Structure 1
Amino acid sequence: MNKIMIVEDDPKIADHLRNHIQKYEFEVMKVMVFDHVMEDFHQYSPDLVLLDINLPSFDGYYWCRQIRKESICPVIFISARIGEMDQVMAIENGGDDFITKPFHPEIVMAKIRSQLRRAYGEYAAKVEERVLERDGLRFFPERLELTFAEKAASLSKKEADIIESLLDRYPRVAGREDLLEKLWDDLAYVDENTLNVNITRVRKKFQLIGIEDAVETVRGAGYRLHVSWTKEDK
């Protein structure tokens, strides 16, 4: 069952969308706190997002850019703005489609189905899935998943980028600067602790699949994948 996340601050419109979409056997989640959209995104892991432009605190363009840093799931903007530049901005900020209010619910359903087919179904690009493997650990970059000993953990895009770098460099050290450059385009705006926070998240994902101490800190250099689990857990 595909999961749809609705980011719309008008409760009547949000409820109308949710009730109609659920009729077609989709699982639907409605965001309630608009300062923490990405927290809901991480927890819910939707297959598609319906996103309004005019939102409290940050607009839909901002949230779409945040989603695009971590995911390629389809994003459909729904807005009362009808100007051509609004639609251009939606696409340039990472959106896949644009629906103007007022809308017919069946138009929304048709566009949802279309985007899901393009992303995951019959129209999705047919490419051979990459798998990186090391001593029983399997990493799937395209599906953002890590598995070991029949356990699996879902990853954010940044977590996946870090793990891919560690696997590519193993048994060498993945340097801090190299990791920062891979993860963020503009290093001038990256806080010094940002990488540390993401490394901590990566370690927790390894722990979820039963691997402790998977990422070794090499002082003054960076991080190295630690494979000592092979003797104990395989």
Structure 2
Amino acid sequence: MFKILLIEDDTTLFNEIKERLSHWSYNVYGISDFSRVMNEFTSIKPDLVIIDIQLPKFDGFHWCRSIRGHSNVPIIFLSSRDHPSDMVMSMQLGADDFVQKPFHFDVLIAKIHAILRRVYNYNTEAVHLKTWCGATIDYEKNIVANERGSIELTKNEVFILKLLVEQKNRIVSRDDLISRLWDDKRFISDNTLTVNVNRLRKRLEEIELGRFIETKVGQGYIAVEEVPV
């Protein structure tokens, strides 16, 4: 049974989400002390974290940064604020998805199913290592390494890279990427994919690989094997 840590201070909403998720056999944990979120995160060791942005003591962005400093566990943000910057910020901090309040519970549950299935199932493939542009991609450890160093990617980042590299030198459409990343693309804005790809490219630039992910305007993205001309 998957463990979900729900960092939400609205008791009514917390209880409703917990009840809904319990029907899917998820174990849902809450926070008893919002000044000690990391202590409870370390103790629970959740498989997925859902964070509200507006929280007592520190906001959800603060705790996302803290979690990302220790773990690549999937993170979903919840927000009642209607600011596109909140979504951009959450993706830049390494969140896997963003849900706007008020939301339909079926949408939240679908997103949880999709993320858990993607994160914890695709690594069962026989081949974990892939060579690309002189670098080794370890799909099991989410690490990309070459002679310039190594970087650890989030689950979303390595999944995007995997989709592109498996079809290297071929354009992968935006619709295909969105549908593979988020099962129901009706609930995903086009900007969400852009933010995720840009974040991946920025991480790859740390080991001088960012330029090998090209944007094809109006079409999608391509992972090239050779240095772009």
TM-score (norm 1): 0.53
Query: How far does residue 106 in structure 1 lie from its aligned partner after superposition?
Result: 1.0
Larger Rg over CA atoms: 1
- Deviations along 1:191-216, one digit per CA (max 9) or x if unpaired, are xxxxxxxxxxxxxxxxxxxxxxxxxx
Q: Distance in 2 between matches of 1:125 and 1:57?
A: 42
Change (3 A) 1:142 1:123: closer
Change (3 A) 1:36 1:15: same
Q: Distance in 2 between matches of 1:123 and 1:10?
A: 35
Query: How far does residue 57 in structure 1 lie from its aligned partner after superposition?
Result: 1.1
Q: Distance in 2 between matches of 1:59 and 1:107?
A: 24
Detail structure 1 runs of 4+ shifted over 3 Å in the superposition.
122-129
Q: Distance in 1 between matches of 2:125 and 2:39?
A: 29
Query: How far does residue 107 in structure 1 lie from its aligned partner after superposition?
Result: 0.7
Q: Distance in 1 between matches of 2:123 and 2:110?
A: 15
Q: Distance in 2 between matches of 1:11 and 1:40?
A: 18
Contact between 1:8 and 1:52, CA under 8 Å: does it hold in 2? yes
What is the aligned partner in structure 2 of residue 44 from structure 1? 44
Quick check: 1:105 aligned with 2:105? yes
Query: How far does residue 123 in structure 1 lie from its aligned partner after superposition?
Result: 7.5
What is the aligned partner in structure 2 of residue 152 from structure 1? none
Stretches of structure 2 that go unaligned for 5 or more consecutive residues are: 130-139, 143-151, 153-229
Query: How far does residue 142 in structure 1 lie from its aligned partner after superposition?
Result: 3.8
Aligned pairs (5 A) from 1:87-102: 87-102=87-102
Q: Distance in 2 between matches of 1:86 and 1:31?
A: 22
Query: How far does residue 120 in structure 1 lie from its aligned partner after superposition?
Result: 0.7
Quick check: 1:83 aligned with 2:60? no
Query: How far does residue 22 in structure 1 lie from its aligned partner after superposition?
Result: 0.6
Change (3 A) 1:12 1:126: farther
Stretches of structure 1 that go unaligned for 5 or more consecutive residues are: 130-140, 144-156, 158-234
What is the aligned partner in structure 1 of residue 59 from structure 2? 59
Q: Distance in 2 between matches of 1:91 and 1:21?
A: 24
Change (3 A) 1:126 1:110: farther
Query: How far does residue 6 in structure 1 lie from its aligned partner after superposition?
Result: 0.2
Change (3 A) 1:88 1:126: farther
Q: Percent identity?
A: 39
What is the aligned partner in structure 2 of residue 12 from structure 1? 12
Equivalent AA in structure 2 for residue 97 of structure 1: D
Query: How far does residue 82 in structure 1 lie from its aligned partner after superposition?
Result: 1.9
What is the aligned partner in structure 2 of residue 35 from structure 1? 35
- Deviations along 1:4-58, one digit per CA (max 9) or x if unpaired, are 0100011111111111101111111111211111111101000000100001111
Query: How far does residue 126 in structure 1 lie from its aligned partner after superposition?
Result: 6.4
What is the aligned partner in structure 1 of residue 159 from structure 2? none
What is the aligned partner in structure 2 of residue 196 from structure 1? none
Query: How far does residue 96 in structure 1 lie from its aligned partner after superposition?
Result: 0.7
Quick check: 1:68 aligned with 2:34? no
Q: In the comparison of the two structures, how many residue pairs are matched?
A: 133
What is the aligned partner in structure 1 of residue 26 from structure 2? 26
Q: What SS is found at the alignment partner of 1:121?
A: helix
Query: How far does residue 79 in structure 1 lie from its aligned partner after superposition?
Result: 0.8
Q: Distance in 2 between matches of 1:125 and 1:67?
A: 27
Superposition RMSD on alpha carbons, in Å? Answer: 2.3
Equivalent AA in structure 1 for residue 25 of structure 2: E
What is the aligned partner in structure 2 of residue 165 from structure 1? none
- Deviations along 1:88-142, one digit per CA (max 9) or x if unpaired, are 011111211000111111111100011111211147786538xxxxxxxxxxx94
Q: What SS is found at the alignment partner of 1:106?
A: helix
Equivalent AA in structure 2 for residue 73 of structure 1: V
